[in-house]
Amino acid sequence: MDKYQAENRIRKLSGEINKLRYQYHVLDAPEVTDEVYSSLMDELKSLEEKFPELQFGDSPTQRIGGKPLEKFQKVVHAVRQWSFSDIFSFSDLQKWEERTLRLISKSKIQISNESQNSKLKTLPTGGGQAKNHKLSTTNLDYVAEIKIDGLKIILTYKDGFFIQGATRGDGLIGEDVTENLKTIQSLPLRLNYPVSGVFVGECFLGKSELSRINADREKRGEALFANSRNAAAGSIRQLDPKIAASRKLDCFIYDIDQLEIQNPKSKIQNKSQISNSNIQNNFLQTALKFPQTQIEELALLKKLGFKVNSETKLCKSVEEVEEFYQSWIHEKDSEDYGIDGVVLKINSISMQNMLGYTGKSPRWGVAYKFPAEKVTTVVEDVSVQVGRTGALTPLAHLRPVSVAGSTVSRATLHNEDEIKRLDLRIGDTVVIHKAGDIIPEIVEVLPGLRTGKEKKFQMPKTCPICGGPVKREVIIKPKKEEDGNGQESAATYCINPSCFAVEKEKLIHFVSKKGFNIDGMGEKIVEHLLSENLISNMAEIFELKVGDLEPLERFAEKSAANLIESIEKSKAIKFEKFLFALGIRHVGEETALLISKDINAQIQNLKDVIEYFPKITVDDWRNIKGIGEKSAQSLVNWFSHDNNLEQLRKMDELGVQVIFHKPQTTNHKLAGTTFVLTGELQDFTRDQVKDIIREKGGQISSSVSKKTDYVLVGDNPGSKYDKAKELGVKIISEEEFRKMIG
């Protein structure tokens, strides 16, 4: 066979294998046996080995990469990845719809009842012609999609070819897992049309595949995966693609973030530009209708060649959504993949674009989660953990029990008052659930099952770690803002400043991303270094050398060098991050930022901090707008402690450079004013409001006091709203705030 004949044969084999793959893994309608499929693959591999220059990027043989990776590379997402807000009841669903309709009314839009796709028409804003239209639930169409319990994946295609796959990460930056995603047979390496774009879906592992994997692991004496989601997450992050391939992952794709066609005049369009008529015309030229609705978007994904879940329903009301939701509560276990709820989206894409996003999630959709699973188990013991501030937190040790797909053996008890409220005793049978399917929590004690051998728990009189003295403090802790009521509770603290547990948590806080951001220095490494007496406080971190680390069990030469390099890079740090990293009680990110903006010009480096900060009094600190009594007292206490100052001196000697930067404001409309935010903002995200206030010379405070100038209130305000009314502080709406900033 010559090269020309081989090329023709390779193209035909690739096309036939991809067709069979699609029929088997996407349509679930195999036409040939596995033996036939394998035979075709063997022939293709043989030809590509003989003619390697004819191996194309989308060849079926390229689904399993070669060498394992050393580490995953970071990926900056082209489009920010959001998470839907969770709701847990029909009442929550109704409230969400009410909020959405209010926002629509405020935005002066109406829905054309004549439009089959519920397209929006923007009313004129000039000449006094705009009118508010009262909307009813009959005006909105919703798309209900079952929520797959898997791992979010972001796929990038160029001219129809798959070029990159990533995990969600923090929404802005994920990890490149391209080679592992190529192993998913239902994911096309080449689309049916030469489009470019970013597509979003869910990677999962089938329950039957999980059973097979766990059976193999059990034979080898390895730990079993608790559930399919954990197994999928672990598989997608394997450095060796061959391991990922062996686990037969699958995926459903459900969203288009960006789309571009093979046309020199077209540009990448974000979803927010989805209704651009010129782009629509380009798509019509290529036989692809640009979607105007979520239903059409799912159809387009399917047409491109993606696997799309068919369990979707177009609903005309939230009552229909509820019917769909209730049906899947009973049916969810019948599928081979995990289902943990229903995702609800407004059908009209132009409506989605208009509603936009809050700081964390889309306003145009929610995740309607299934009820958290509740089970009973026995409290076998109660231990106490010690945190960064010295707080003693009781922890219930449970008889292991499976709940919401994972095995639970511990649950937090928060504090001594919570134990008394539950009347909980060691040996009790209790009801636990995973709030939001995440955090194990004891919600009820079943006293009727007591035998008389149960023991009451007593908070220790001394620290369980260092044996030092403890004290009990009664505090008024606000509940979630939407609840609006304060709650009195008591916390017990270790007051030994040298407590190992306290020092460990302080160091973990110190090196965290919001502090010095020392990459590679996680909780286990900190504990290891403390246990080996290589460090005993924050300053000693900067004394570490490669030779100190190499003899330790966890460190090879390269990992030791990497950590030392990370420590060196962290030495230059902004003042507000430096102050936050010190872990001063009641001094969080916002307080640190307020102080950084108010610093005297003569303080320019760490030496100045060491010299001047111990001289600042409580009243001086409180003169900074937004700094309260507790924060001021904590600052004075911290900077009057000789050991703390000695650590700062050592950091200075070891090259830690604190960077002082005062932002220059060109618009001082809000100069000298302090704002407090409360409630759910509709037209802004909280971060946007904070940035605007700071840019215009104002300040943000986390609590209301007589020094507060304005309290900006959104929907469902909390205790800060009540406090503002009590103190006579001016309360403003988003509309009033918009007028203030001009």
Catalytically annotated residues: 147
Q: Which helix (H) or strand (E) holds 142?
A: strand 142-148
- CA nearest to 72, candidates 146, 178, 151: 178
The rounded distance, in Å, linking the Cα atoms of 376 and 716 is 34
Question: If you count them, how many residues does the chain have?
Answer: 742
Please check whether residue 207 is in contact with residue 336, taking contact to mean a CB–CB distance below 8 angstroms: yes
The rounded distance, in Å, linking the Cα atoms of 546 and 562 is 9
The answer for 306, left when phi > 0, alpha when psi is -120 to 50, beta otherwise, is beta
The rounded distance, in Å, linking the Cα atoms of 172 and 78 is 8
Please check whether residue 536 is in contact with residue 503, taking contact to mean a CB–CB distance below 8 angstroms: yes
The rounded distance, in Å, linking the Cα atoms of 219 and 375 is 29
For residue 44 the two structure tokens come to 């293709």
Note the Cα 681 to chain centre separation in Å: 20
The secondary structure of 553-616 as a DSSP string is TT--HHHHHHHHHHHHHTTEEEHHHHHHHTT-TT--HHHHHHHHHH--TT--SHHHHHHHGGG-
Amino acid of residue 522: G
The secondary structure of 147-210 as a DSSP string is EE-SEEEEEEEETTEEEEEEE-TTSSEEEB-HHHHHT-TTS-SB-SS--EEEEEEEEE--HHHH
The rounded distance, in Å, linking the Cα atoms of 293 and 141 is 10
The rounded distance, in Å, linking the Cα atoms of 704 and 232 is 46
DSSP letter assigned to residue 280? H
The rounded distance, in Å, linking the Cα atoms of 127 and 617 is 58
Q: In what order do the strands lie in the sheet with 250-260?
A: 161-167, 151-158, 196-204, 250-260, 269-270
The rounded distance, in Å, linking the Cα atoms of 146 and 310 is 9
| Residue 441 C-beta-side C-alpha neighbours within 13 Å | 13
Query: Within 10 Å of residue 267's Cβ, how many Cβ atoms?
Result: 10
The secondary structure of 88-119 as a DSSP string is -SHHHHHHHHHHHHHHHHHTTEEE-TT-TT--
The rounded distance, in Å, linking the Cα atoms of 176 and 174 is 7
Amino acid of residue 427: G
| Residue 444 C-beta-side C-alpha neighbours within 13 Å | 8
Q: Which helix (H) or strand (E) holds 428?
A: none
The rounded distance, in Å, linking the Cα atoms of 409 and 400 is 5
| Residue 289 C-beta-side C-alpha neighbours within 13 Å | 10
The secondary structure of 224-252 as a DSSP string is PPSSHHHHHHHHHT-SSHHHHHHT--EEE
The rounded distance, in Å, linking the Cα atoms of 349 and 351 is 5
The phi, psi pair for 393, rounded to 5°, reads: -115, 120
The phi, psi pair for 617, rounded to 5°, reads: -90, 170
Tell me the chain's radius of gyration from C-alpha atoms: 30
- The strand pairing partners of 493, in sequence order, are 391, 471
Please check whether residue 182 is in contact with residue 63, taking contact to mean a CB–CB distance below 8 angstroms: yes
